[in-house]
Amino acid sequence: MFGFLKCKELRGKKLEKRAKKLGVSLLPDDFGSALPGSSAYPPPLKESELQRRVREAERDRRDRIRLIVNIISPIVSVCGAIAAWIGILKSCLR
């Protein structure tokens, strides 16, 4: 019924490209414990884990934008109220 609400998950190269754009690590969490100088390659990250990380990074990005909007909105409202009061005071002083 509401098929348009379903978000299609990215897969393959598109998923990796989006992850890199968002700054999401493509390495497993435990790969940082490998010995320095070892030539061991990291095991590939499961696609489901990478999708989860991308979703989380996108959510964080949206939350930051909402925070900025929530901070700016009251400031703009206060400026509008001050401008209205100044207009009223000017009209009363004439």
Question: What tokens were used for 61?
Answer: 């990005």
Residue 77 lies in a domain: yes
Residue 46 lies in a domain: yes
Question: What tokens were used for 16?
Answer: 């990796």
Q: Which of 39, 37, 12, 40 is nearest to 26 (CA)?
A: 12
The tens digit of pLDDT for each residue in 21-70 reads 988 888 777 655 555 555 566 677 788 888 899 999 999 999 999 999 99
CA atoms within 13 A on the CB side of 70: 6
Residue 62 lies in a domain: yes
The answer to whether the predicted template modeling score (pTM) of the entire model surpasses 0.85 is no
Report the run of H or E that residue 55 belongs to, with start and end. Answer: helix 47-93
- The predicted pLDDT at position 31 comes to 59
Question: What tokens were used for 7?
Answer: 């978000």
Q: How confident is the model at residue 84 (pLDDT cuts 50, 70, 90)?
A: very high
Residue 1 lies in a domain: no
Residue 63 lies in a domain: yes
